[in-house]
Chain A
Amino acid sequence: MVRMARLSILRRLLGCGLLLACGTVLSRPAGGIPQQSSPSEELLTLPGELGNRGGRLVVSLRAEPKTLNPLTAADAPSREVIGAMQSDLVHINRAAQLTEPALAKSWKISPDGLEYTLILRKGLRFSDGQPFDADDVLFTFRVYLDEKVHATQRDLLIIDGKPIAVHKIDKWTIVFRLAKTYGVRERLFDGVVILPRHMLEKPYEEGKLGQVWTISTPANQWAGLGPFRLKEYVPGQRLVLERNPYYWKIDSKANRLPYLDELVFLFVPNADAQVLRFQSGETDLISRLGAENFAVLGRQEHRYTMADAGPGLEYNFVFFNLNDVDEKQSPEIARKQKWFRQVKFRQAVSAAIDRDAIVRLVYQGRGAGLWGPVTPGNPRWVNTSVARPARSLERARSLLKDAGFSWSNGPKGDSTLVDADGKAVEFSVLTSSTSADRTKMVTLIQDDLKQLGMRVQVVPLELRSLIDRITLTREYEACILAIVSPDADPNVDLNTWLSSGGNHLWNPSQAHPATAWEAEVDRLMEEQLIATSYERRKKLFDRVQEILAENQPMIFLASPDILVGAKNSIGNFHPAVLEPYVLWNVEQLYFKNNSENSGR
């Protein structure tokens, strides 16, 4: 019955959407929607180019968002959509990579670094017209910190094993108390979106918070503080958002943002299909472009603005299986681990890899070679003194010789690398079958290592089963993978560098650090977590980068530039190297020439 009811609501919603599509875009008949700011509201004025109101922006999304519920959203499409619909207290500006006031107009951190006092903006309203105040913030943090809710953000709000304590001083002032100093400081509020208490308190008390706000939620049962609000969802095709008339940002002429009337996410699963949609004019923006597709679109540049925003935060790497593999269960892998565990072996592999060729052939020069995990796209945290040796087969050979390897000559005049027991060195590298870039990289590496006498086999696997192999069964020899950091701060990759982390790919979730240098990384990462000054944290994280570069648990390869495109008619198009690359300033995007767009 419940299902039937939901279906009929959905059908009504769809019918409604059709009606709206036939006529002009109507705003909801809510009384007194402010178009200009009123003095009782403390709105945020954004600098930048002034735009025109109106228009419908269409972008493609790699997959359907799994949910609109920020508590359970774990997939990138859900997070991207939620980012356009919700707001946080303090926000990281994606272009400047620094924090800026959002729902909190100001904040103060006590001298001991343990108490954060946030002053909220007065007079704001949720997208359904209900007022926003400190009770919503209080409710939001109660929900995030509730163990039973299983919020994905919960871990970030637990410091030194204790949850952050939240107190309300008055209707507009909130105090957060931390158990220990926290290095990221006010950045911790980014991404913790504020939930409407008036709408979610009931389901929370009934213990049903995990089930609310699915993607098929009716628009009137949803509310947020972001620039856009829910309008319509067509399964398998698109999600339509409309302008939130109560949004709390204005431009320098006091016009309420956002400029756009509608934001449409089309579900286009394939990267090439996204390019085709963009080329045919169906979508207005495109991001996450591969270098080759970027070049194809660049040839018709008079129609689009194609931009290379510079190196992003994605790092590609090869790593070997360094888990404690049961010798009886997988004798082959255990035998090969004798090579993988030798630092000199890993260093030799790294020395033999032609990173210049990877950047040239895979990224058409639009990328940067990497010798450590921090990309040049993160100038605030990158350790520039990490050595960046050029490719050298001689150095690789001498490292291998030191580690006890030798060469035997084959019948065809080719030499084979053999270990101390006389066994030929050969191993397989897993790669995601859907990533053309990494498959290309590994084909280049295969040829690079052939010159050292190693035989490398490439095994393309579907991404899901690849991740299962690495984290669950741990039956693999080597793997090539990439991580895209969501933020520039080193804390976001804590799970990767700590030996106890589930993302510590080469040997995840260890009870005790397996090696001395992993213990050292653990210590440094934990110390920077509570260090309060940037200089101190930078020094600690620099050392982490040095240790990683020296021990090569991951052999870092390259980082692609963020390649994006937009129709020439789109104003305020300023791509950033952080996600969401082109939609981070969606409230300021506008159509320069409205007549062109009104036809649609």
Chain B
Amino acid sequence: MIRRRGWKRWLLALAVLHGIVAFAGFLAPYDPTEQDRERPYLPPMKIHLVDALGHFHLHPFFYPVHLRGRSFDQFEENTDQAIPLRFFVSGARYRLLGLLPSRIHLFGAQTSRIYLLGSDAYGRDQFSRILYGGQISLLAGLLGAGLTLFFGTLIGATAGYCGGWRDGLLMRVAELFVALPWLYLLFALRAFLPLAVSPVQAFFLIITVIGAVGWARPARLVRGVVLSAKERDFVRAARGFGATDGYLLRRHILPETSGVILTQAAILVPQFVLAEMTLSFLGLGVPEPVPSWGSLLGSLQQYSVLVSSWWMYAPALAIVPFFLVYLGLASALQQDAGTGKIEKTTGGT
């Protein structure tokens, strides 16, 4: 019972993290593609409570920042003019969860833009880009994992249940896929596809590619579970009573695989998020100006950014909680499923 609550806690943390990214439109103050050409590579702005004269203010505010004269990368605060941070302000149009049109943003300011995490080479708000970039990366991970598990379960269950030459053929193909160096396969696949693809096309392309390559491992796991499950006494008994193959699979065998599938899901999602990031980092993912975590990190390939713009590392930090929570969930699920399995197998044989 304690373990059950354990994985529920992980699930709650996951829901919160995904919620933040899902509501990016509301939480981010600006459109992620909007350029501010006066402020490239702007360091994160400071939110003040105490002004330049040492007076304390209850309402947080910030000072507008502009380029120092005759410089292109040095900024200074203009302390003459304090701009209060406002909440629930009206700003750029967006669609909440991709559906509800809205203009309300959690925070913002009237006369000057606020950059909580600085800006990139084109003066685009890094905070907004990280939130929106998470939508692409996480959705790619989730959909990719969904696709993989669907095909993996289908193929694994078929191989395990049918056995014989079908099992042999499917498992040999699976071994082939496991042995393939997936990154190079992705490069090759990408090279075959048309040159110019719109961001939406590119996104679905990545998911398809990731999903198509990853099915082998879950398929082998599912097959193992199905193989042992179909020899259980209660399955044999059901068959003896005249149950059809479809009924047996649906009612008795597939439920046995749920533990494995859930654990696999929790492992595969971060793995596929990482795959999407790798592709985008290398410039093969969703094209500019749409952000994804991988393409945000791509700017760190430049030495000058690496040494002088520390805030560009922020997307790398953003993925840490996601990965921790997903892996925590996976291990909690595994423990849960593991203990359950041992009980059942000992009871069965």
Chain A residue with the shortest CB-CB distance to B302: A436
Which residues does chain B contribute within 8 Å of A291, judged by CB atoms? 72
Residue A443 at the chain B interface, CB threshold 8 Å: yes
Pick from A164-172, A358-366, A539-547 the stretch touching chain B: A358-366
Partner of A292, one of B123, B283, B289, B302: B302
Interface residues of B in 296-320 (CB under 8 A from A): 302-305, 307-308
Q: Is A364 a contact partner of B287 (Cβ separation < 8 A)?
A: no
B195 vs chain A, min Cβ distance (A): 5
Q: Is B195 a contact partner of A443 (Cβ separation < 8 A)?
A: no
Residue B90 at the chain A interface, CB threshold 8 Å: no
Pick from A194-202, A454-462, A574-582 the stretch touching chain B: A454-462
Q: Is B35 a contact partner of A459 (Cβ separation < 8 A)?
A: no
Partner of B35, one of A428, A444, A461: A444
Residue B141 at the chain A interface, CB threshold 8 Å: no
Known: A443-B122, A444-B35, A457-B287. A292 touches B93 (CB 8 A): no
Interface residues of B in 266-314 (CB under 8 A from A): 283, 287-289, 302-305, 307-308
Interface residues of B in 39-79 (CB under 8 A from A): 40, 72-73
Q: Is A364 a contact partner of B73 (Cβ separation < 8 A)?
A: yes
Q: Is B72 a contact partner of A296 (Cβ separation < 8 A)?
A: no
Q: Is B307 a contact partner of A296 (Cβ separation < 8 A)?
A: yes
Q: Give A339-355 as 1s and 0s: 1 = Cβ < 8 Å from B's Cβ atoms.
A: 00000000000000010
Partner of A457, one of B198, B283, B305: B198
Q: Is B303 a contact partner of A276 (Cβ separation < 8 A)?
A: yes
Which residues does chain A contribute within 8 Å of B195, judged by CB atoms? 428, 430, 459, 461, 476
Q: Is B122 a contact partner of A296 (Cβ separation < 8 A)?
A: no
Which residues does chain A contribute within 8 Å of B308, judged by CB atoms? 292, 295-296
Which residues does chain A contribute within 8 Å of B307, judged by CB atoms? 296
The docked-state distance in angstroms from the alpha carbon of A564 to that of B307 is: 19
Known: A364-B72, A433-B283, A446-B289. A428 touches B196 (CB 8 A): yes
Q: Is B283 a contact partner of A460 (Cβ separation < 8 A)?
A: yes
Residue B5 at the chain A interface, CB threshold 8 Å: no
Partner of A447, one of B197, B198, B289: B289
Q: Is B304 a contact partner of A365 (Cβ separation < 8 A)?
A: no
A18 vs chain B, min Cβ distance (A): 33
The docked-state distance in angstroms from the alpha carbon of A278 to that of B133 is: 36
A353 vs chain B, min Cβ distance (A): 13
Which residues does chain B contribute within 8 Å of A365, judged by CB atoms? 72
Q: Is B93 a contact partner of A413 (Cβ separation < 8 A)?
A: yes
Residue A275 at the chain B interface, CB threshold 8 Å: yes
Which residues does chain B contribute within 8 Å of A461, judged by CB atoms? 195
B221 vs chain A, min Cβ distance (A): 38
Residue A179 at the chain B interface, CB threshold 8 Å: no
Which residues does chain B contribute within 8 Å of A159, judged by CB atoms? none
The docked-state distance in angstroms from the alpha carbon of A401 to that of B178 is: 57
Chain B interface mostly helix, strand, loop or mixed?
A: loop
Known: A458-B287, A458-B288. A444 touches B122 (CB 8 A): yes
Residue A440 at the chain B interface, CB threshold 8 Å: yes
Q: Is A295 a contact partner of B288 (Cβ separation < 8 A)?
A: no
Q: Is B40 a contact partner of A292 (Cβ separation < 8 A)?
A: no
Q: Is B302 a contact partner of A443 (Cβ separation < 8 A)?
A: no
Chain B residue with the shortest CB-CB distance to A412: B93
Chain A residue with the shortest CB-CB distance to B195: A459
Residue B116 at the chain A interface, CB threshold 8 Å: no
Residue A27 at the chain B interface, CB threshold 8 Å: no
Q: Is B198 a contact partner of A272 (Cβ separation < 8 A)?
A: no
The docked-state distance in angstroms from the alpha carbon of A360 to that of B274 is: 34
Which residues does chain A contribute within 8 Å of B73, judged by CB atoms? 292, 295, 364
Residue B96 at the chain A interface, CB threshold 8 Å: no
Q: Give A276-308 as 1s and 0s: 1 = Cβ < 8 Å from B's Cβ atoms.
A: 100000000000001111011000000000000
Residue A357 at the chain B interface, CB threshold 8 Å: yes
Chain A residue with the shortest CB-CB distance to B303: A272
Chain A residue with the shortest CB-CB distance to B196: A428
Chain B residue with the shortest CB-CB distance to A360: B72
Chain A residue with the shortest CB-CB distance to B202: A457
Which residues does chain B contribute within 8 Å of A290, judged by CB atoms? 304
Which residues does chain B contribute within 8 Å of A360, judged by CB atoms? 37, 40, 72
A288 vs chain B, min Cβ distance (A): 14
Which residues does chain B contribute within 8 Å of A354, judged by CB atoms? 37
The docked-state distance in angstroms from the alpha carbon of A275 to that of B303 is: 8
Which residues does chain B contribute within 8 Å of A276, judged by CB atoms? 303
Interface residues of B in 116-144 (CB under 8 A from A): 121-123
Which residues does chain A contribute within 8 Å of B72, judged by CB atoms? 291, 295, 360, 364-365
The docked-state distance in angstroms from the alpha carbon of A364 to that of B72 is: 5
Which residues does chain A contribute within 8 Å of B123, judged by CB atoms? 361
Partner of B304, one of A295, A460, A477: A295
B307 vs chain A, min Cβ distance (A): 6
Q: Is B196 a contact partner of A447 (Cβ separation < 8 A)?
A: no
Q: Is B121 a contact partner of A361 (Cβ separation < 8 A)?
A: yes
The docked-state distance in angstroms from the alpha carbon of A291 to that of B73 is: 11
Q: Give A309-327 as 1s and 0s: 1 = Cβ < 8 Å from B's Cβ atoms.
A: 0000000000000000000
Q: Is B122 a contact partner of A457 (Cβ separation < 8 A)?
A: no
Which residues does chain A contribute within 8 Å of B303, judged by CB atoms? 272, 275-276, 293, 296
B101 vs chain A, min Cβ distance (A): 8
Which residues does chain A contribute within 8 Å of B289, judged by CB atoms? 443, 446-447
Chain B residue with the shortest CB-CB distance to A275: B303
B97 vs chain A, min Cβ distance (A): 16
The docked-state distance in angstroms from the alpha carbon of A73 to that of B40 is: 41
The docked-state distance in angstroms from the alpha carbon of A291 to that of B283 is: 22
B166 vs chain A, min Cβ distance (A): 42
Chain B residue with the shortest CB-CB distance to A475: B195
Q: Is B196 a contact partner of A292 (Cβ separation < 8 A)?
A: no
User: Which of B283, B287, B288, B289 is packed against the most chain A CB atoms within 10 Å?
Assistant: B288
Q: Is A292 a contact partner of B304 (Cβ separation < 8 A)?
A: yes
B230 vs chain A, min Cβ distance (A): 51
B249 vs chain A, min Cβ distance (A): 45
A447 vs chain B, min Cβ distance (A): 5
Which residues does chain B contribute within 8 Å of A272, judged by CB atoms? 302-304
Which residues does chain B contribute within 8 Å of A413, judged by CB atoms? 93
Which residues does chain B contribute within 8 Å of A295, judged by CB atoms? 72-73, 304, 308
The docked-state distance in angstroms from the alpha carbon of A459 to that of B195 is: 7
Which residues does chain A contribute within 8 Å of B283, judged by CB atoms? 433, 460
The docked-state distance in angstroms from the alpha carbon of A459 to that of B198 is: 10
Q: Give B223-239 as 1s and 0s: 1 = Cβ < 8 Å from A's Cβ atoms.
A: 00000000000000000
The docked-state distance in angstroms from the alpha carbon of A458 to that of B303 is: 23
What are 12 A-B pairs with beta-carbon distances under 8 A?
A272-B304, A290-B304, A292-B308, A293-B303, A357-B37, A360-B37, A360-B72, A412-B93, A440-B122, A458-B287, A458-B288, A461-B195
* Interface, chain B (partner A; CB < 8 A): 33, 35, 37, 40, 72-73, 93, 121-123, 195-198, 283, 287-289, 302-305, 307-308
Rank and list the top 8 A-B pairs by shortest CB-CB distance, nearest first: A428-B196, A292-B304, A272-B303, A364-B72, A457-B196, A357-B37, A365-B72, A296-B304
Given A290-B304, A357-B37, A361-B123, 7 further pairs, Cβ under 8 A: A272-B302, A275-B303, A276-B303, A295-B73, A296-B303, A360-B72, A461-B195
